[in-house]
Structure 1
Amino acid sequence: MAVKESLQQTGGLWFGWSGKLGDDTPGTNSEDVKLQSIGNVQLATIDLSRQDHETYYLGYANDVLWPVFHDRLDLANFNVRFASGYRRVNQLFARKLFPLLKPDDIIWVHDYHLIPLAAELRAMGCSNRIGFFLHIPMPPPLIMAAIPEHEWLMRSLFAYDLVGFQSEADVTHFTHYVESEAHADALSRNRLRAFDRKLRIGAYPIGIDVDDFAALAHGREGIEMFMQIREEYSRRNLLIGVDRLDYSKGLPQRVHAFRELLELYPENRKSATLIQIASPSREDVKAYDDLRCEMDSLCGAINGDYGELDWMPVRYIHRSVARRRLPGLYRASRVALVTPLRDGMNLVAKEFIAAQEQSDPGVLVLSRFAGAAEQLKEALLVNPYDTQGTAHAIQRALTMSIDERVNRHTALMERIRRFDVHWWSSTFLTALSRVEADDYQEPVFPDNLLL
């Protein structure tokens, strides 16, 4: 969403996978580029074959990079077929994108699916300035080194002119990796030299369009949701969690912490309700199916053990809620629980802040392992692995004075306004346009780095 809003402001070409699967039969036109104009944005998309979708997207992107970058080595599947498919698709993207480029185009590549895209473009002779932004966390060096192709991946990043991360912690992890594994030289605080290339790096925390989201809270559907929830839960203190059903979001740990709250602070029984929205995600992956079963069991157990005829502690909803209705739900909630085990940023935290009434705002309970924690210091920061500690923080949020709530919210609101989505895109693109031009020298990739 943030990338879409940024591109609509500047105009340009959006290139990527169409989301559709083509024919695996050789000689078909499934890899043809399809062009479409929407306003000042031109969309250029291609289909993927089922084989490439399996190895590149489901395999390497979601079964290798996603778990490793979220510190879950136990869930990674280092199948050599996945690595080959990942490189093959990035070569395909480069081959299809290159003819569409103009000499003065600035290229901005997004996220872990496309780490080697610049290197493939450079190999074809592309000399444009190319930036890369990693939306997910950068893992610590030893975690990163568990990927069999880790050196090839990190070497690929040096084909970019600028690499942006969500947080200073991510910048530190990347710097430590290339210093220890590639013996990189630190030319300055945000400039490195390795693999015969210079690279500028930096933290560019992504934001939201604050005014746009706040306006949704006062739109028709936002108001309808607010009034409906306020009427239905007029005698309850609402806690809200909105996440994809993903193991990185810490949903079981959150439910355990809520259970601990009811045990340690029994005054919350019959008065506090957790509404947990967990939209479906990657349901064909076993780890996600296991997580759904665990959440069904945990929420059912709490409702069975603590629920009354007129009160259910947890309202667990395994489906998406329309974006236009979410601000009303946030606005009606006393506390937001944004407690991932690891997250690049987490924009739900910022959306909750933007939706609040300034005179009577809710309280944000935020995991210290979310990238947003570096910016949102006035939230109640918690360790989601610490069940009792999180329960104590929730109780503090529920009993916080209005003066403290207003003071915290005022500071948080000022920060998300200052560092909004427009700041994010303009700051990154300005930095990319000002990167000192270096004569590009194509990195040498030893054959044994990627089979």
Structure 2
Amino acid sequence: MSRLVVISNRVPVPTPGVPPAGGLAVALSGAMEARGGLWFGWSGAKLPPGESEPSEPKITTADGVTYAVIDLSERDLDEYYAGFSNRMLWPLFHYRMELTEFTRISLSGYHRVNRLFAQRLAPMLKPDDVIWVHDYHLIPMAAELRAMGFRNRMGFFLHIPFPPPDVLTALPNHADVVRSLAAYDVVGFQTPSDVENFETYVRRERVGRRLPDGRFVAHGRAVTVEAFPVGIETDAFAAVAAASNRNALVRRVRDSLGDRKLIIGVDRLDYSKGIAQRIQAYETFLLLDPEWRGRCVYLQITPKSREEVPEYAAMEREVAELAGRVNGAYSELDWTPLRYVNRTVGRNALAGLYRQAAVGVVTPLRDGMNLVAKEYVAAQDPENPGALLLSRFAGAAAELDGALMTNPYDVDGTAGALARALDMSVEERRERWSAMFERIRDYDVTWWRETFLEALERDDEAPPSTGRMALVR
């Protein structure tokens, strides 16, 4: 069995005594432990002032997996990470063209760091390694390795949405992005809609076509392009939620609620998550359904992120002001309608809070998948599950058809859906939940990993499976 090499922007180097941060890290490290593996990427640290290029990668070995990381210079982070990755690709791929900022300097930095990654990784590669590259930061990685002479099987998975051609072509170097994707043997997207957007682009721009066996020819290379929706560790997360009564934080929150119903939202602070629109919808709900005042509490957990990007700082102020406005208008001496928390909550406590919540609100303006929706479903009590309110623009909406679907741009409609969720009978909640739970249990993170690797290790001449995208409702 060939060794698995994973390349990502950040590498979750294990710390003794500290469990892995999430299901994705567990799934990938588990695959590498089984077959031998190498995980390469950025350490998360900056080079000392005056140093422009990292030395040899720092190596850590744990459970048979080698973790190799390099530090990056402040210039690299400004241009590659904060610049092209997060001020051009991230907003554009989330359909926010008005927030994009393209410069030739940041584009040059993006390619420079991808080339640097390839150069530092190259001496560590073996001829039969299977290489799996993750996410938008590293789209050119296969092209850089191919230019160095590597002919290994290489796959790429995009964790965020792939936009339609009318959006993608706003990127000045859109042709290079698609040409870079064509350097891989397998390109994985989250949903069939993303695959359709890719197909429409290559057809409209006349750079490729779909073959009879389902693959694509793009820029002269045959590439497997399919939907592989990311899952979670469903059974493990459900078990943690079921045992959450032992968690002190969960008990304190439960005691503070009394008999009030909990509404929960959990999102990284990002303009793609629709947090401001969600708070406005909750404000409208309190206005239009006054009988719920004093009978429910909305908990919004929103860790800060990318504080070096100006748009995120502006959003932080906007959301804090909205939360203050709602509480100022509707609070009573013994009731605060909205609890807004700007810090990370541990996995065990979060599972317990999901289980307590009568409604989970997941309403991004655009999202590749959104695993919070799946975690909320996994955490529920089968006898008395909560209701999931889900944006139609989340990738998870293609699978979780038991959710109440909403349009986050329609504030009044979202407010009405919230009232319906709170009033939903336990019989309807059970019926909706059971179908969703079955789905996320069958197609969990292990299924995602194994299905992608099966496609990646398939012989070039073997026709791809014809049923994978049909697995997504």
TM-score of the pair, normalised by structure 2:
0.90
The match for 1:380 among 398, 404, 414 is 404
Higher RCO structure, 1 or 2 (CA under 8 Å, sep 6+):
1
- The one-letter amino acid paired with 1:61 is S
Query: Which string of whole-angstrom CA distances, capped at 9 and with x for unpartnered residues, describes residues 335-357 of structure 1?
Result: 01000000000000011111110
Determine the C-alpha separation between the residues in 2 that align with 1:24 and 1:224. Answer: 43
The answer as to 2:353 corresponding to 1:353 is no
Q: Secondary structure at the match of 2:211?
A: strand
Counterpart residue type for residue 53 of structure 1: L
* 2:31 equivalent in structure 1: 10
Residue 64 of structure 1 deviates from its aligned partner by: 0.6
> Does the 8 Å contact 1:222/1:328 carry over to 2?
no
CA contact (8 A) 1:226 1:331 kept: no
Q: Please report how far the alpha carbon of residue 219 of structure 1 lies from its aligned counterpart in structure 2 after TM superposition.
A: 4.0
State the Cα deviation string for residues 221-277 of structure 1 (Å, max 9, x = none).
764343322221122111000000100000010001111111111111111211001
| Alpha-carbon distance in 1 for matches of 2:29, 2:391 | 32
Partner of 1:371: 395
Q: Could you tell me how far 1:8 is from its partner in structure 2?
A: 2.4
Alignment-derived partner of residue 285 in structure 2? 261
Counterpart residue number, 1:171: 195
Change (3 A) 1:230 1:220: closer
2:62 is matched with which residue? Answer: 38
Which of 83, 104, 111 is matched with 2:128 structurally? 104
How far apart are 1:153 and its partner, in Å? 0.8
The counterpart of 2:215, out of the listed 185, 191, 194, is 191
2:27 counterpart letter in structure 1: S
Find 1:279's aligned residue among 303, 324, 331: 303
Aligned AA (1:276): Q
Query: Counterparts of 2:248 and 2:213 in 1: how far apart (Å)?
Result: 50
Partner of 2:425: 401
Which of the residues 331, 334, 340 maps onto 1:307?
331
Q: Whole-Å Cα distance in 1 between the matches of residues 78 and 387 of structure 2?
A: 42
C-alpha distance in 1, partners of 2:256/2:377?
A: 23
Please state whether the residue corresponding to 1:372 is helix, strand or coil: helix
Provide Cα deviations, 1:92-121, integer angstroms capped at 9, x if missing partner.
111111211111111000000000000000
User: Which of 410, 418, 424 in structure 1 is aligned with 2:434?
Assistant: 410
Using the alignment, how far apart are the partners of 1:310 and 1:84 within structure 2? 56
Paired AA for residue 7 in structure 1: L
- Partner of residue 22 from structure 1, selected from 47, 51, 62: 47
Equivalent residue number for residue 97 of structure 2: 73
Match of 1:443 in 2: none
Residue 158 of structure 1 corresponds to which residue in structure 2? Answer: 182
Partner AA of 1:4 in structure 2: A
What's the C-alpha RMSD, in Å, of the aligned pairs?
1.5
Distance 1:160 1:48 in 2: 25
Deviation of residue 71 (structure 1)? 0.7
Q: For the Cα contact (< 8 Å) 1:161–1:200, is it kept in 2?
A: yes
Pair 1:95-2:135 in alignment: no
Using the alignment, how far apart are the partners of 1:432 and 1:200 within structure 2?
A: 9
Structure 1's unaligned 5+ residue stretches are 439-451
Q: What's the CA shift string for 1:392-417, capped at 9, x where partnerless?
A: 11111100000001111111110000
CA distance in 2: counterparts of 1:90 and 1:331, whole angstroms: 41
CA distance in 2 between partners of 1:29 and 1:61 (Å): 19
1:331 and 2:352 matched: no
Cα distance in 1, alignment partners of residues 119 and 50 from structure 2? 19
Q: Is the 8 A contact 2:53 2:72 kept in 1?
A: no
Q: Which moved more, 1:429-438 or 1:362-371?
A: 429-438
Look up the match of 1:449: none
Tell me, in whole angstroms, the C-alpha distance in 1 between the residues paired with 2:139 and 2:246. 38
- Tell me the equivalent position of 1:444: none
1:236 and 1:270 in contact (8 A); partners too = yes
TM-score (norm 1): 0.94
Query: Secondary structure at 1:325's aligned position in 2?
Result: helix
> How many residues end up aligned between the 2 structures?
437
Contact 2:245/2:251 (CA < 8 Å) preserved in 1? no
Distance 1:167 1:111 in 2: 15
1:312–1:277 distance in 2 versus 1, CA, 3 Å: same
* Offset, 1:4: 1.3
Give me the whole-angstrom Cα distance separating, in 1, the residues matched to 2:260 and 2:243: 24
Moved more, 33-42 or 106-115: 33-42
Letter in 1 for 2:278: R
The C-alpha deviation readout for 1:189-237, integer Å capped at 9, x for no partner, is 7411121111110000000001211122244676434332222112211
CA deviations 1:147-180 (Å, max 9, x no partner) are 1111101100000000000001111111111111
- SS of residue matched to 1:405: helix
Q: What percentage of aligned pairs have identical amino acids?
A: 50
* Structure 2 counterpart SS, 1:279: coil
Q: Please tell me the residue identity of whatever aligns with 1:56.
A: Y
Pick aligned residue for 2:158 from 128, 134, 137: 134
Read off the aligned partner of 1:150 and give its amino acid letter.
Answer: H
Q: Quote the residue 1:340 is aligned against.
A: 364
Assess if the C-alpha contact under 8 Å between 2:247 and 2:348 holds in 1.
Answer: no
For residue 86 of structure 2, what is the aligned residue in structure 1? 62
CA-CA distance at 1:280 after TM superposition: 0.7
Asked if 2 retains the 8 angstrom alpha-carbon contact of 1:134 and 1:166, the reply is yes
Moved over 6 A (4+): none
Are residues 3 and 328 of structure 1, via their aligned partners in 2, closer, same or farther at CA, if it must alter by over 3 Å? closer
- Where structure 2 has 5 or more consecutive residues not aligned to the other structure, the ranges are 1-21, 463-473
- Cα distance in 2 between the residues matched to 1:6 and 1:425: 7
In the TM superposition, what is the alpha-carbon distance from 1:182 to its structure 2 partner? 3.5
Quick one: distance in 1 between partners of 2:247 and 2:241? 6
Kept in 2, the 8 Å contact 1:237–1:333? The answer is yes
Q: Is the 8 A contact 1:190 1:202 kept in 2?
A: no
